[in-house]
């Protein structure tokens, strides 16, 4: 099988496309994620004809408009960057995620410096021009900066979102039917419960009457809420709540001693003494011993390949 299509800033793959002629090779991307993701590299600055090495550029706010201007000169690359945006962004609808290079005035996701007309920093709250256009065009797309992937929770959250969004694109968006929509919600129920219980309780009733309005309208509202919920980091308490709910479906297949051990491990996880993988493995073992069809469907038990080891660290 081919990997999940994910966009990435070219420099993160080790290509020497930076303004100084260097790169920002991310071994986590090339040695770990590349086993599961099919990376689609883009360097918008190179695509805009800036070449490498090249003068550093930054964002300047002039007449309430962000312009891409050389840091030690006056050359303005805004129009050439906009041409790249207009050409490239519409071709990215097949992607399931995007990993951006931080601090870049073209690719930075957030906290990018903005200078005034004289070159003095006046704020640090912008996105790079390409990144801003990407997130505006595809608001559901999971987007993250490479540097933030070193944070265990942010890394796990991003990768979980990519796999969930890929499921949506393959199995719902590709052939939208009421059945496909309900099946998607069913297999992601416990993920929703863990990430954002209020949205979980809101999205279920949304699907209770799929004949009262166009299915496209309901699906659009649903996936918008779903992806919003998935951006929420899951607290230990929320994981405990979800696991305890799952235990309820397995009560008939677990002996008293097994149930006691699992509860002890869940409580130890809640206290921060164990990673999530420990109680989750016990839940999966209980399910495998005496499978329950509804539990078998739940992506919460295995939202991404085990070999990524993400639940060993959260």
What angle do the packed helices 178-187 and 152-171 form, to 10 degrees? 160
Domain that holds residue 53: 4-150
The strand order across the sheet containing 65-70 reads: 65-70, 57-62, 112-115, 121-126
For residues 250 and 312, state if they share a domain.
yes
Query: Mean pLDDT over residues 98-127, rounded?
Result: 96
Q: Which of 150, 172, 199 is the last residue of a domain?
A: 150
Q: Domains in the chain: how many in total?
A: 2
Maximum Cα–Cα distance across the chain: 74
pLDDT at 163 over 90: yes
For residues 182 and 281, state if they share a domain.
yes
- 108 burial type by CB count under 10 A (0-12 exposed, 13-18 middle, 19+ buried): buried
pLDDT tens digits, one per residue of 291-306: 999 999 999 999 999 9
Query: Mean pLDDT over residues 121-144, rounded?
Result: 98
pLDDT of residue 73: 84
For residues 45 and 135, state if they share a domain.
yes
pLDDT at 4 over 90: yes
What is the chain's mean pLDDT, rounded?
A: 96
For residues 18 and 138, state if they share a domain.
yes
pLDDT of residue 298: 97
Q: Answer for the pair 64, 108: CB distance below 8 angstroms, yes or no.
A: no
Q: Which of 150, 181, 200 is the last residue of a domain?
A: 150
Query: Does residue 98 have a cis bond before it (omega within 30 degrees)?
Result: no
Closest CA to 178 of 201, 208, 203: 208
For residues 181 and 266, state if they share a domain.
yes
Dihedral sign for Cα 205, 208, 211, 216, please. Answer: positive
For residues 180 and 101, state if they share a domain.
no
For residues 277 and 160, state if they share a domain.
yes
DSSP string, the chain: -PPEEEEEEGGGGT-S-STTS-----HIIIIIGGGTEEEEEE-HHHHTT--SS---EEEEEETTEEEEEETTS--B-HHHHHHHHHHHGGG-TT-S-EEE-TT-TTT--S-EEEE-TTS-EEEEEE--HHHHHHHHH-TTS-EEEGGGGGSHHHHHHHHHHHHHHHHHHHHTGGG--HHHHHHHHHHTHHHHHHH-HHHHHHHHHHTS-TTSS-HHHHHHHHHHHHHHHHTSPPPHHHHHHHHHHHHHHTGGGS-HHHHHHHHHHHHHHHTTSS-THHHHHHHHHHHHHS--HHHHH-GGG-SS-GGG-GGG--
For residues 168 and 314, state if they share a domain.
yes
Query: Mean pLDDT over residues 182-205, rounded?
Result: 97
For residues 59 and 136, state if they share a domain.
yes
How far is the C-alpha of 180 from the C-alpha of 173, rounded, in Å? 9
pLDDT tens digits, one per residue of 9-47: 999 999 999 999 999 999 999 999 999 999 999 999 999
For residues 185 and 306, state if they share a domain.
yes
For residues 171 and 289, state if they share a domain.
yes
Q: Which of 131, 150, 169 is the last residue of a domain?
A: 150
pLDDT at 112 over 80: yes
For residues 87 and 185, state if they share a domain.
no
């Amino acid at each position: 099988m081919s990997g999940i299509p994910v966009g990435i800033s070219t420099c993160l793959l080790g290509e020497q496309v930076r303004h100084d002629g260097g790169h920002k090779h991310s071994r986590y991307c090339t040695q770990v994620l590349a086993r599961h993701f099919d990376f689609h590299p883009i360097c918008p600055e190179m695509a805009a004809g800036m070449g490498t090495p090249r003068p550093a550029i930054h964002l300047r706010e002039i007449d309430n408009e962000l312009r891409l201007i050389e840091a030690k000169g006056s050359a303005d690359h805004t129009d050439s960057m906009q041409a790249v945006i207009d050409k490239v962004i519409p071709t990215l609808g097949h992607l399931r995620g995007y990993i951006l290079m931080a601090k870049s005035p073209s690719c930075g996701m957030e906290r990018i410096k903005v200078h005034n007309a004289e070159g003095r920093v006046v704020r640090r709250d912008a996105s790079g021009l390409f990144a801003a256009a990407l997130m505006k065009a595809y608001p559901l797309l999971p987007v993250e900066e490479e540097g933030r992937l070193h944070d265990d929770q942010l890394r796990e959250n991003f990768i979980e979102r990519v796999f969930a969004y890929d499921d949506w694109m393959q199995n719902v968006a590709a052939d939208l039917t009421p059945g496909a929509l309900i099946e998607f919600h069913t297999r992601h129920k416990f993920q929703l419960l863990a990430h954002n219980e209020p949205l979980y309780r809101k999205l279920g009733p949304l699907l209770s009457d799929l004949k009262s309005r166009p299915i496209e309208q309901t699906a659009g509202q649903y996936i918008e809420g779903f992806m919003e919920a998935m951006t929420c980091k899951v607290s230990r308490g929320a994981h405990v709540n979800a696991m305890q709910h799952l235990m309820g479906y397995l009560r008939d297949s677990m002996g008293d001693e097994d149930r006691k051990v699992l509860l002890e491990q869940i409580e130890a996880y809640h206290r921060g003494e164990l990673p999530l993988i420990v109680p989750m493995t016990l839940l999966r073992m209980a399910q495998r011993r005496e499978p329950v069809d509804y539990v078998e469907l739940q992506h919460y038990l295995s939202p991404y390949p085990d070999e990524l080891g993400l639940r060993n660290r959260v």
